[in-house]
Structures are given as structure tokens and as C-alpha cells.
Structure 1
Amino acid sequence: MTAIRDDGSERDRVLANGAVMAAGTVVSRMSGFVRSTLLAAALGAQLHADVFNIANTIPNMLYILLAGGIFNAVLVPQLVRAMRNDPDGGDAYTSRVITLAALFLAVVSVLLVLAAPWVMELLLDSRFSEPALAAQRDSAIDFARYCLPQVFFYGMFVLVGQVLNARGRFGPMMWAPIANNVISVAVLALYLVVFGPAQDVFGAFSADEELLLGLGSTLGIAAQFVILVPYLRSAGFRYRPRFDFRGTGLGHTLRLGVWTVLFVIVNQVAYTVVVRLASSGTASSADGTGYSIYSSTFLIVMVPHSVVTVSLATAILPRLSARAAEDDLPGLSRSLTDTLRSALAVVLPFALLLPVIATDLANVVWGHGAAAAHYELYAPSLALFGAGLAFFTVHYLMLRGFYALERTRTVFWIQCAVGGTNIVAALVLVRATDAEHTSPALVLAYSASYLVGAVISYAVLHRLVGGLRTARLVRFLVRAAIAAGLSTAAAAGTAYLLHRAAGDPHWVVAAVWVVVTTCVDVAVFVALARVLRLGEVTTVVDTILRRVRPRHVPS
């Protein structure tokens, strides 16, 4: 088998593939912001919004719990190996995987719809069992019944997307979620026209409201899966149902998946505790913060992760898997650490900028309709998420190395430490504060858990592959911290001067201030990156410029 070439263009190829996915992710996230804005305008930020948002997040949680770990982490290396080693290029193996997954997800989705009341009982605070919140509990169960079929569509979307990724087609999976957001925006716009902004941000929903929001959400998830299907043929794969599962290599995949399933169980147990604690914040006080604020601010914070880190990790995972198959541990280490530095080059300045723009950004995104009077409740959670994002980036990329090496058992034990830290910190911090600070307390618990995860995963992988070029990473971090610190100071000074003009700006003015402050931060950071010779930053910038620069056709 021919060894993989290791030349100076590898990072450029990864960044180029990542740029294709990042473009789709940017558009998807922008449409996601519109959805988040309309959702807050329609439902507010208190208990009324939590009833829908908690029910609508359950399908994704359960999909991840039941199959997401295998689909996202274990499957790509196995697909790559089947393509390299099987006489038919892995077509039969891939068809068997799709058939088995579709049968499993369909049966599970039906069972979950029937079990909706018991599912919701796990995620709602005990206060929802009281007579005063009986109507809200019934609405949550109704929403769950409408939304739980999404488990099937989430699973099939990710599965087909990973088949395309393994065959070098990275773009469709990143662009398809735009269809979901477009449908969600249309549904919410229709909701506002028909029902208007919520007048009682602590009340239940009518049957018609539940039908529109619930079925509309499921339709969006189904659409993003259906859009991917035609790309399978253009990628050179034709699906044929296969039921001959025995003795075909699926057992090895499932054995690897056992530890990943356990990993996901730990993660979802921790997340269930977080959601339940979040529901207590809005259920106990009119000024409480809960799941809607926690999840909405998390959406904002995950933008650089989705645009940069996920795109780079998705592009590099097949290469990491191939290097692992070649037993090229130095090459794997080099590819992974180059990707880590490229991701941190974007994540670090963003994390430091968040506290500076948090209030204005909250005003822009959520200062409308039913949430207009409460947008400032979003700002503390938004500001605090930055540190957690940096730690999560390190942890996330280290796990790609473990998955490429098929060390899923190691990942499970690391995630036990992460999940345990999150649960303990969340319980302690939420009990130590009031209802208004429930969401910020959960953000701090998130950051603490991924600090633990980043340290452990880096240390274990460092020992496993014989080094992760730590000295070079430290030198990069020192220079990046200097550049990001100075650029954040410039942004903070700009924001201070702007706020001297008006203490409580209209959201349009706040949007201008966010743009101006961010532009100052980016300009100063990029300039300092060139002075400090941060090649990771300048390479990312040059890649973006090549993508957006107009191409002149020779005459």
C-alpha cells in the first residue's frame, strides 16, 4: 500500500476543503440566527419558550444517544477502510450500513413517540408535576410527539452525509441544513402572522400552535435529509438494500461503536441534568433564565466551532484515518496539531471578544417581540461561553485523533471525567445562585468540564502517539494570546467610546456597533498576527481571500 505523501501543501488542501464546508456553514448559521431571532420574538425567553425548545431538542439528544456517536466518529474510518480494501470500493458495506441504520431508526422513532410522556418527565423539573404547571407540561408532551420522528431524519441525514464525506464530497452536508432553517423561518413567520408574539411568556400553547410549531420543526429536519440523497449517485455510490449483515465486517464496526455508545450515554446523561436544571430556572421565577437562553447563546458561540473547527476536522478525519491505517503516528500528530493551531487562530480572538460585544449582540439577535424586554438576560451567558469554547476546541480535535486510531474505549473514559465534572459543577453552581443566574451557572459548569476534557485528552493522546509538537503549540499560544489580548483591548476601547454616545441603543444602532467593534478587533488581530509571524492566522486569511476574490476570465 502506498504511503501517504507528506508535503507542505497538506494544510492548504485541508483548508481548501474546509473552506467549502465553512461557506455552507456560514450561510446555514446566518439563517439559523434569523430563526433564533424569530423564535425569541414569537415565544420570548421565559417558560413559554422553554416548553417548546426543550421538547424540540429531545430528538437530537436521543439521536445522538442512540446512534450519533457511531455515525459521527466510528463510521468514517470504517467507510474509508472499506473503500480502500473491498473489491467493490465499499459499496456493499455502505449499503448494509444504510439498510441496518434505517430499520433501527424507524423502529426507535415509533417507540419514542409512544413513550413521549415518560421522555419528557426525565427532562422537566419536578415543578412541572404541580397543578400550576399542568398545562405547560401537557404542551411539552404534545410537542414531543410531533418532534420525536426527527430522530429518524437526524440519523439518516448524518449517515448519508458521512458516506459523502468518506467519498470526498464535503459540501452537501454543510449546505443541506439551510433548507431546515428556511422552513423553520417560514413556519415562525407564519406563526407570528397567525398568532402574534406571545402575550403570556409563562403560559401554555393552544392545540393549533402546537401543531404548527411541532410539525413545522419535523418537516425542516426531514428536508435536510432528503436534499442529500441525490448527491450519493453523483459521488459514485448507488444504494441497494442489503440484509446480509453477518460476516461482512459490520460486527467490527459495532464492537468499536459499543464504547462510543457508552461515551454518548455519559455525555447525554450530563446534558439531561443540564436541561432539567435549566428548566428549574424558568419554572421557579418570572426573572429566571433557563434552557432557551442557554441553548440560544450556545448557538452563537458555536459559530466559529461549526464554521472553522468542524469544517477542518471533517476534512482532516479521512486523512487521519488513512495515516492511522499506515501506522504513521508522526504524520497523524503533525496533521492533527496543524489543524488545532488553525482552529485556535480563529477561536481564541472570538472567545476574548465575546464579553465586549455580548450585550449589543443580544440586543441585535433577541431584542424583538416577546423577548424585547428581556434581551439583557442573554448577555452574561453569552460572555461566559468564550472560555468553554476554547477548551472544547482542543478536546474536540484531540478526540478526532482517538477515533482515527480506533481508541474508542479511551474516549469513553475521558468523557466520564468530562460528564462527571459537568454534572457536579452544574448541581453545585445552580444551587448556589438564584433563578436569574441559572443559565450563566450552567455555562460555567460547561467550561469547567471541557477544561478537564482538554487537559486529559491532550495528555493521553500525547503519550499515545509519542508527542504532539507541544513546544510549537505553546509558542503559537503565547503569540496568539498577545495578539488577541491587544486586539480585544482595542475593541473594548472602541465599544466604550461608542457607548458613551448612548447607553441603551436601538437594536439597529447596536448592530452597527457590533460590526464596528468586531472589525476593529479583526483588523488589529490580523495586523499583529503578521507582525508576530502567526502563520496559522495568515494562512487562514489568505485562504478566505482566495475564495472571495473575483476570478477574472482571460480574454
Structure 2
Amino acid sequence: MLRSFLTVGGWTMLSRVLGLVRDQLLAAFMGAGPLQDAYQVAFRLPNMFRRLFGEGAFNAAFVPQFSAILTTEGPDTARRFAREALGVLVFWLLALTALGEVFMPAIVSVIAPGFGLHGGGERHDLAVSLSRITFPYLVLICAAALVSGVLNGMGRFSAAAAAYATFNVVGIAAILWLAPFTATVAHAAAWGITASGVVQLGLLLVAARRAGMELALPRPRLTPQIRTLMRRMVPGLVGSGISQINLVVDTIIATLLPTGSVSLMYFADRVNQLPLGVLGAAAGTTLLPELTRHVAAGDTRAAHETQSRALEYALILTLPATLALIVLARPIMATLFGHGAFSARDAALSAQSLQAYAIGLPAFVLVKVLSPGFFARGDTATPVRVGIATLVLNFALNLSLYRPLAHVGPPLASSLAACANAAALGWLLRRRAALALSPGCAGRLARMIAASFVMTAMLALAQMTPLGHVADWTTLPRVIGMAALVCLGTAVYGAALQALGVADSRAIMRRLATRLNRR
């Protein structure tokens, strides 16, 4: 499991790094203004579907069912099921896309009500135009999610994880080379989104064929297996995707704030998504198939140990990342995005949003780790109930905080709601005896927290030195100073883990040496 976790995490990390490069270009060319706001809203819809289906409800419903069919009935039956699922999925998504293209003005009015109230409707019209370009991406990426589920169900995680990196590669190319031929940089970036869906789906279909699971697009039929899949998937759309729905609520509220607030929150969320996407997605993707096998075999002890290990693997990096993002928010935003049209003031304001998002980072990751505990047992109803309660809480918190805290209010509301979500899921799993920490896990988690605070104290001390003014330096010294702070934090955290007995550096080096020699 650790090898699969690191494989998915490694490819996801590459994708996130490329994503940061893409976002840096967006910030440099468009800054934090009406053009950026309109583009981010246009990107929100297909991106929500990508996260829901690529990392959420569809994966949670399809992978266990496909894995079970593959194990019990063989590859031919599993291939037929995958093809049937692809046919139904593409059919209704094409219908949804057609409706979306026709009624896009109304959709934008719902998800961005503030655009029609401020700026004379300019942002609204621009968001409609851009959304019509990006909306077909949801068909392509959802089909790609199915093919990824097939590969994950077969234990082939690398190809699926690597394909998603092409989203940012194509996006970067579109911004740099397509922009001169379109009305604005935003239009070029929007076309890049849809083009990346074509590339991702094509690469995944090739990988599936090489794995002996060639997929075709049959006539859609509601077979008994497809009905079972739909019953499991529909409630899971709310349960596993509640964090994405909360982010959409944040966007709706943000459009009611002054122009540029949507952009400030977007760039903060992108930095927060780096550890969340790498650790949360890797944990959820690799945990679900293995946990499903243990549950299907009736091996309760192995299921408990698997989920306990996943929790440790995720939190050993999430905890220090959370505190580092809070302490270093301003230099991070200035270093990554403080160029071109994105001003120093924009970076400082966006850093405040980042701190609010980072508070909920451990909770967001825990939701990714805890949700498979329900999905592996065929229970998608419980996460739905918890998710609905969380959504109501998030909306109430947003309404309470967005006026006094402006661009900090929606991120803070989302973080607090995520904490409630994770706490409820954990409590319910424990109550059902579906979650039990392995011996020594609680002690290791406590020592991880202690090591994280040691690192935080050292970074706080570093802020009192010249490194504390990194955000005010010019570009190259700023990058060097930020790299020094990251290296300092990493070294202190690693040393603290070693001193507290959480990690043995010599054992890790021996394992790495063995792996390299074997290769």
C-alpha cells in the first residue's frame, strides 16, 4: 500500500507543481480583477465535476464494484461492466452538457450572483462566454475518471495518476502560445481546459488497452449492474463531494464581495490544494481498493490496520504542512504569485485567505481517509447525511462571516465545516466498530503533532531574522529565501521526528538503497 500511496502521491505532486506554474501565468497575465474572476467562475463548474468524479463519488462507487467483479467473475465480465458504465455515463453527460450550453446565462447567475450586481454585468457576460468553452470538459474528464477507475481497480495506479498531469501541461501551452490568437488570455486558458480533457482521455484509453482492458462506447443500457452502480453513486455525489460543494458555496458568496475577491480566494485555495491533492487524493485512491478487498474477505483486523496506516501516512505530512502554511502564508503567496499584474497587496490579501483555508487542511485530508471506510462497506447513505449537515453548516457560517471578514470569511467557514465533517465521520466509524487505531498509532500521532510544533517554533524564530522579510524582496532573492525557509522547516521536522522516535532515518535510507540496488 505504501508503494502505491507514494506512486500516486508522486505523480499528483508533479501535477500540482505544474498547476502552480499554470496559476503563476494566470496571475501574472490577469492579476486579481474582473477578467480573472470571470475565468475562475468558468473554471469552477468543470473543475467541480473533475474532483467529484475523478476523486470522489464515481470513484467511490465504481472501483469497489469493478474490483469485486474482476475478482469473482473475471476480466471479461469486468470489461463488459466497464463498457456499459461508460456508455451510460457519456450519454447522460452529453445531455447535461447540451442543457448547460443553452442555459449557461442562468447557471452563471446562480453560481456567481454578484457578477450581475457589480461592474454593470461585464463579468457575468464574460463568465458565460468562457463557461461555454470549458463546459464540454466535464464529459471528457468524467469518462477519463471511469477509465482511471478501471486502471486503479486493476492495481495500476501510475498511468491514471500520470494522465492528470497533462491537464496542466496543455493549460500552460495554451496560455503561452494560444493567447495571441484569442480575444483574451482567459479565452486561451479556457480552450486549454477543454483540449486537456481530450488528451487525458486519449492517454488513459491507450493505457487501458495495454493493460488488456480495451474499452468501447456501447449503446447505453440500464443493466442490473449499472442500476447498482447508480444507486451507490448518486448519494455519494453529495457525500464524498461535500468539500467541493462547500467551495462552490464559497465562490457564490465571494462574488458578492468586492471585485477580485474570487481571484484572491482561488490562488489561496490552489496553494492549499497542493498538500490536500497530493496526500488526500493519494490516500483515498490507494486506500479504497485495498480496504474493499479486506472487507469483502471478512478480514476486519486487516481493514482496521489498513485504514490506520493510511491515516498515519496522510497526517505525517499534513500536520507540518498546515502549520507551515499558516506561518509562511505571506512569503509563500508573494513568491509564487507576486509577479506581473498580481500586486504585493493582492499577495498579502490572498495570504490571509490561505491561512483560513490551512486551518481546515487536516480535516479535509481526514475526510478523504475516512470516507472509504463507508464506501468499502457499500454504505453511501451515511456520508450523504453527514454531508448535507456539513453543507448547511458551511452556508450558515458563510453568511455569518463574509461581511465582517470579507475574503477571509468563506475560507474560514469552509475549514470549520470540514472539521465538523471529519469529526462526524470518525465518530460514526468508531461507533460501528469500523475504525480502530493500530497499537501505538495514537502515540505516534501525538509525537507527530509535537514535531510539527517544534518546526513551527523554529520558523517563527526565523521570521525575526532577515528571512522574515522575504515577501518584500525582489524575485530571485525572494525565491532563494523561500527555499531556505522550506529547507529549514523540513530539516527541523525530520530531526524532531527522529528524536521523538516516529521515524528512523537510517532505516529509511537502507530501504531506499535496497530499492535502488534492486532497480
TM-score interval, normalised by the smaller of the two chains: over 0.9
Q: Residues of 2 paired with 1:61 and 1:129: CA distance?
A: 24
Moved more, 346-355 or 506-515: 506-515
Q: Residues of 1 paired with 2:219 and 2:469: CA distance?
A: 69
Q: Is the 8 A contact 1:417 1:452 kept in 2?
A: no
Pick the aligned partner of 2:367 from 382, 395, 412: 395
Aligned counterpart, 1:279: 255
Aligned counterpart, 1:235: 211
Q: Is the 8 A contact 1:484 1:525 kept in 2?
A: yes
CA deviations on 1:455-487 (whole Å, 9 max, x unpaired) are 110010112235412874432232111111111
What is the deviation of 1:546?
5.4
Aligned counterpart, 1:42: 29
TM-score, normalised on structure 1?
A: 0.86
Q: Residues of 2 paired with 1:494 and 1:258: CA distance?
A: 49
The structure-2 alpha-carbon separation of the partners of 1:174 and 1:546, relative to structure 1 and needing over 3 Å to count, comes to farther
Aligned counterpart, 1:7: none
The structure-2 alpha-carbon separation of the partners of 1:539 and 1:91, relative to structure 1 and needing over 3 Å to count, comes to farther
CA deviations on 1:3-39 (whole Å, 9 max, x unpaired) are xxxxxxxxxxx11112222221122111111101000
What is the deviation of 1:256?
1.6
Pick the aligned partner of 1:505 from 473, 485, 495: 473
Pick the aligned partner of 1:96 from 78, 84, 94: 84
CA deviations on 1:370-424 (whole Å, 9 max, x unpaired) are 1134222221122232221011111221101111111100110111222122111
Aligned counterpart, 1:28: 15
Q: Is the 8 A contact 2:373 2:434 kept in 1?
A: no
Output aligned runs, 1:187-206, within 5 Å.
Answer: 187-190=174-177, 194=180
Which residue identity does 1:366 align to in structure 2? F
What is the deviation of 1:343?
0.7
SS in 2 for 1:282: coil
Q: Is the 8 A contact 1:293 1:378 kept in 2?
A: yes
Pick the aligned partner of 2:47 from 35, 53, 60: 60
The structure-2 alpha-carbon separation of the partners of 1:108 and 1:407, relative to structure 1 and needing over 3 Å to count, comes to same
Matched, 1:371 2:342: yes
Pick the aligned partner of 1:422 from 389, 394, 398: 394
The structure-2 alpha-carbon separation of the partners of 1:191 and 1:381, relative to structure 1 and needing over 3 Å to count, comes to farther
Matched, 1:330 2:340: no
What is the deviation of 1:307?
2.1
Q: Is the 8 A contact 1:42 1:191 kept in 2?
A: no
Which residue identity does 1:419 align to in structure 2? L
Output aligned runs, 1:243-254, within 5 Å.
Answer: 243=219, 245-254=221-230
Which residue identity does 1:510 align to in structure 2? R
CA deviations on 1:186-224 (whole Å, 9 max, x unpaired) are 2222367x49xxxxxxxxxx8455643332221123222
Which residue identity does 2:336 align to in structure 1? V
Matched, 1:306 2:277: yes
Output aligned runs, 1:394-473, within 5 Å.
Answer: 394-433=366-405, 438-465=406-433, 467-469=435-437, 472-473=440-441
What is the deviation of 1:60?
2.5
The structure-2 alpha-carbon separation of the partners of 1:149 and 1:477, relative to structure 1 and needing over 3 Å to count, comes to same
Pick the aligned partner of 2:358 from 379, 386, 391: 386
Aligned counterpart, 2:326: 355
Flag structure 1 segments of 5+ consecutive residues without an equivalent. 1-13, 196-205, 284-288
Aligned counterpart, 2:197: 221
Q: Residues of 2 paired with 1:398 and 1:409: CA distance?
A: 14
The structure-2 alpha-carbon separation of the partners of 1:343 and 1:213, relative to structure 1 and needing over 3 Å to count, comes to closer
SS in 2 for 1:310: helix
Q: Is the 8 A contact 2:238 2:387 kept in 1?
A: no
The structure-2 alpha-carbon separation of the partners of 1:333 and 1:543, relative to structure 1 and needing over 3 Å to count, comes to farther
The structure-2 alpha-carbon separation of the partners of 1:362 and 1:244, relative to structure 1 and needing over 3 Å to count, comes to closer
Q: Is the 8 A contact 2:326 2:354 kept in 1?
A: yes
The structure-2 alpha-carbon separation of the partners of 1:533 and 1:315, relative to structure 1 and needing over 3 Å to count, comes to same
Aligned counterpart, 2:311: 340
The structure-2 alpha-carbon separation of the partners of 1:467 and 1:238, relative to structure 1 and needing over 3 Å to count, comes to closer
Aligned counterpart, 2:266: 295
Identity of aligned residues (%): 23
The structure-2 alpha-carbon separation of the partners of 1:346 and 1:101, relative to structure 1 and needing over 3 Å to count, comes to same
Which residue identity does 1:273 align to in structure 2? V
Aligned length: 517
Which residue identity does 1:446 align to in structure 2? S
Q: Residues of 1 paired with 2:265 and 2:153: CA distance?
A: 34
What is the deviation of 1:271?
3.6
- Please report the RMSD computed on the Cα atoms of aligned residues, expressed in angstroms: 2.7
Which residue identity does 2:487 align to in structure 1? C
Aligned counterpart, 2:2: 15
Q: Is the 8 A contact 1:116 1:145 kept in 2?
A: yes
Q: Residues of 1 paired with 2:150 and 2:256: CA distance?
A: 40
Aligned counterpart, 1:532: 500
SS in 1 for 2:334: helix
Pick the aligned partner of 1:166 from 150, 153, 175: 153
Q: Is the 8 A contact 2:88 2:220 kept in 1?
A: no
The structure-2 alpha-carbon separation of the partners of 1:427 and 1:458, relative to structure 1 and needing over 3 Å to count, comes to same
What is the deviation of 1:167?
0.8
Which residue identity does 1:343 align to in structure 2? A
SS in 1 for 2:473: coil
Q: Is the 8 A contact 1:69 1:261 kept in 2?
A: yes
Moved more, 293-302 or 140-149: 293-302
The structure-2 alpha-carbon separation of the partners of 1:482 and 1:66, relative to structure 1 and needing over 3 Å to count, comes to closer
What is the deviation of 1:310?
1.8
Pick the aligned partner of 1:319 from 281, 287, 290: 290
Q: Is the 8 A contact 2:115 2:121 kept in 1?
A: no
Which residue identity does 2:289 align to in structure 1? P
What is the deviation of 1:129?
4.3
The structure-2 alpha-carbon separation of the partners of 1:270 and 1:481, relative to structure 1 and needing over 3 Å to count, comes to closer
Q: Residues of 2 paired with 1:329 and 1:154: CA distance?
A: 35
The structure-2 alpha-carbon separation of the partners of 1:543 and 1:185, relative to structure 1 and needing over 3 Å to count, comes to farther
Q: Residues of 1 paired with 2:223 and 2:152: CA distance?
A: 25
Q: Is the 8 A contact 2:4 2:157 kept in 1?
A: yes
Q: Residues of 2 paired with 1:539 and 1:278: CA distance?
A: 49
Q: Residues of 2 paired with 1:494 and 1:82: CA distance?
A: 55
Q: Residues of 1 paired with 2:471 and 2:272: CA distance?
A: 25
Aligned counterpart, 1:8: none
Aligned counterpart, 1:3: none
The structure-2 alpha-carbon separation of the partners of 1:85 and 1:532, relative to structure 1 and needing over 3 Å to count, comes to same
Q: Is the 8 A contact 2:159 2:204 kept in 1?
A: yes
Q: Residues of 1 paired with 2:250 and 2:282: CA distance?
A: 27
The structure-2 alpha-carbon separation of the partners of 1:82 and 1:483, relative to structure 1 and needing over 3 Å to count, comes to same
Aligned counterpart, 2:136: 149
